[in-house]
Amino acid sequence: MNKIVSRLMLVLTLVALVGGALALDWNKAAAASHTFNVSVYHGINGRSLGLSKELPVIAEVYKDGDLIAQIPLSFKGRFTADLEPGNYMIMVKSVELNAYVDSMTVGPVDLPAGIDLRLKAKLGAGKTPILNVRVK
């Protein structure tokens, strides 16, 4: 009888551990579903445009029409964040030229929870700076 009780206790313990692990993963997934992930990468060497190699810019992030962040980026710089869903617009301003780069404006666009948004600044046709946008 002791072997049956000890095996039953072992099985119940394993079930409790597995159940706890599944509940933890469920809670993480539920929490993550209330945001989306964004990653921005500055991949433009300014020398290609006759400017400094670092080509410093400021990415202005607007949510529901309000400016929520000004993110300084330079060549090979990266920014990542988890954001609340909403209507977003990103505008990029060249620090050297003190001007917005129209070809690098994204939005306004509604972004839902649970997505991965990747933005990569690069040179397009005719050396035009563009933001390559991917959603997963």
What ranges do the domains of the chain cover? 1-32, 36-135
Residue 51: alpha-carbon gap to chain centroid: 28
Residue 5: what pLDDT?
41
Residue 12: what pLDDT?
41
CA angle 81-82-84, nearest 5°?
Answer: 130
Contact residues for 25 (Cβ-Cβ < 8 A; gap 6+): none
Residue 136: what pLDDT?
87
Question: pLDDT tens, position by position, for the chain (136 residues)?
Answer: 545 444 444 444 434 434 444 444 444 554 556 999 999 999 999 999 999 999 999 999 999 999 999 999 999 999 999 999 999 999 999 999 999 999 999 999 999 999 999 999 999 999 999 999 999 8
Q: Which strands, in side-by-side order, build the sheet including 116-123?
A: 78-83, 36-42, 116-123, 129-135
The CATH number given to 36-135 is 2.60.40.2890
Residue 96: what pLDDT?
95
